[in-house]
Amino acid sequence: MEQWEYRDPMAVAARRQRENQRREAACGKCEHRVSMGWGGQTLDACGQKGRRTYGVRCWMYQERA
């Protein structure tokens, strides 16, 4: 766990939610997005060959049709 995760549980939950919303706004509609289940959670990643960072819109972003 990171240092900020040891604080108030409500603040931690709010920060995680804001981060997920930011990532979805940047890459949520991209056709290269891939999702997989791992340990009971759904993880998202960029399916491009260069393994781009999910949540940071890149120049290869293409919106799904």
Question: pLDDT per residue over 2-54, tens digit each?
Answer: 898 999 999 999 999 999 999 999 988 898 898 999 999 888 888 887 778 88
**Structural domain count of the chain:** 1
- Give the residue numbers spanning the domain of 64: 1-65
Tell me if 28 sits within 8 A of 62, measured CB to CB: no
CA dihedral 5, 11, 15, 17 (to 10 degrees): 110
Amino acid 17 reads Q
pTM to 2 decimal places: 0.72
List phi, psi (to 5°) of 2.
-85, 165
